[in-house]
Amino acid sequence: MADIITKKPKSEQTKQNIIDTYLKLIPSKCWDKITVKELCAQANITRGTFYQYYSDIYDLMEQIENTLLDDVNRFYNAASKSQPSSSCSTGKFEDSFDYAPPQLMTAWFKFCKKNKKEIAVMLDPKHSDVYFMKKLKNILSEHINQMMDDDGLPDDTLRRYFTNLLIEMHFLAARYWLEEEDEADVLSTTDILNLLNTMRVGANYLHYFQSTRPDFDIKMNIPEDNE
DSSP letter string, 66-135: HHHHHHHHHHHHHHHHT-------SS-HHHH---SPPHHHHHHHHHHHHTHHHHHHHT-TTTS-HHHHHH
| CATH class given for the domain over 1-54 | mainly alpha
CA distance 167 to 179: 18
User: What CATH class does 65-220 carry?
Assistant: mainly alpha
- The three-state secondary structure class of 226 is coil
pLDDT reported for residue 32:
95
Q: What is the pLDDT of residue 1?
A: 37
Predicted local confidence at residue 4, as pLDDT: 44
Name the segment(s) of the chain with CATH classification 1.10.10.60: 1-54
The pTM assigned to this predicted structure is 0.81
Which residue intervals of the chain bear CATH 1.10.357?
Answer: 65-220
Residues of the chain with pLDDT under 50: 1-6, 227
